[in-house]
Structure 1
């Protein structure tokens, strides 16, 4: 259900902190994730206008698929799009070119170029090659895999690589499942091995901000609310002790905010 009441100072401050460089629908998604309250892009636009918050983004939106693929990758997609669901095609592209493309990005790229998989409806149906290995092509093709044969670009479980988008180290944890199930952030895997699954609404933070210093001693579990305060007030530092102090300060900010809301409600 959409919001119909005024926003708290904490919510306004959160929007102010995440707004630069983001469009209203992106801000709305972050707001919903942060506070669990569904809002629309239009409501975020109104909030920003009322509180003089700017995003400083171009009038013409640069879509997520602009420049997403190079020429070789585009040709590969066109050659193999037939009979594949968007997720299957994204998995294939990621395996072939060592990328981190999502099904939604593939869908957007196809739609803008009027490229179809040939599947009916919203591509929710099983592809013609379900249950087979290799690419769909009536009569087979040179890229189809024989039973037990692995593609030349196959990476075994335990392989690691650096995500070119954010610099995090990814580790392959299994051969089956979607791309995000096969590849996970190494620091999260390490933390969970010692502590169990990361609780909902939380994240694992590098204490010294060095994404390559993947040790248990350098990992801190923080809530999304704590993380928002840390990012807003620049409380993450290049040494672990200072960041831990910043986390304590973030907790103080949150408690002050809670006290103010209680006072306002009385």
Structure 2
């Protein structure tokens, strides 16, 4: 089957709009949730490669393990190096472990540590104030500045509206206009849906 028929322009642009800084698994999950599909990670990876879409997470080929590489400690199970006094004890925490609330800048996004996870800071702040983010919804920045991670600079919209605005290149750094464009996109999508329901009911 022709690749163009399998992925619409809207679907490809959606992948492009969310890909940066996200692993294939997460991109695939968001795609399937939005388009009510069951695409596999391999399919998403293929379409990204086909259209030159990169998430920026690929490892360095110079330092990555090569196929057939044998680790230096292969066959040395049980080998003890150093005294027992200096060995890592069960239940101990490594000195490099970060406490909850630690922030980091990772692949263009601010993240905050919560438990054993690193969570996008803007999503964390929103959920602390308003509760869990509903399915198929995203948190965006009013001024489109990902470094301005404050609650009063955030707003929630649907994935469909975000994609619609991105495809039409309507995003603005002017806060009122940016919010209005997404609200208008939400309304347009609802109207189109109701028209489709009405036509199918005839």
Q: Same fold (TM over 0.5)?
A: yes
Q: Secondary structure at the match of 2:123?
A: helix
Shifted more, 238-247 versus 136-145: the winner is: 136-145
TM-score (norm 2): 0.66
| Higher normalized contact order (CA 8 Å, seq sep 6+, divided by chain length) | 2
**Which residue number in structure 1 is paired with residue 11 of structure 2?**
15
User: In 2 relative to 1, CA 19–194 (structure 1 residues): closer, same or farther, beyond 3 Å?
Assistant: closer
Structure 1 residue 196: Cα displacement: 0.9
**Which residue number in structure 1 is paired with residue 122 of structure 2?**
187
Count of equivalent residues: 180
User: In 2 relative to 1, CA 212–264 (structure 1 residues): closer, same or farther, beyond 3 Å?
Assistant: same
**Which residue number in structure 2 is paired with residue 249 of structure 1?**
184
Deviations 1:212-240 (A, max 9, x none): 11111111111222222122122322132
Q: What pairs up with 1:3-42 in 2 under 5 angstroms?
A: 12-18=8-14, 31-39=31-39
Structure-2 separation of matches of 1:140 and 1:41: 40
**Which residue number in structure 1 is paired with residue 196 of structure 2?**
261
Q: What pairs up with 1:109-124 in 2 under 5 angstroms?
A: 113-114=67-68
Q: Does 1:215 align with 2:158?
A: no
Structure 1 residue 66: Cα displacement: 5.5
Q: Does 1:172 align with 2:113?
A: yes
Contact 1:203–1:223 at 8 Å: present in 2 too?
yes
**Which residue number in structure 2 is paired with residue 83 of structure 1?**
none
Q: Secondary structure at the match of 2:192?
A: helix
Shifted more, 251-260 versus 220-229: the winner is: 251-260
The structure carrying a bigger strand percent of its residues is 2
Contact 1:157–1:173 at 8 Å: present in 2 too?
yes
Q: Does 1:157 align with 2:100?
A: yes
Compute the RMSD of aligned alpha carbons.
4.2
Which of 170, 178, 181 is equivalent to 1:235?
170
Contact 2:158–2:186 at 8 Å: present in 1 too?
no
Structure 1: 5+ residue runs without aligned partners?
Answer: 1-5, 49-54, 75-109, 118-135
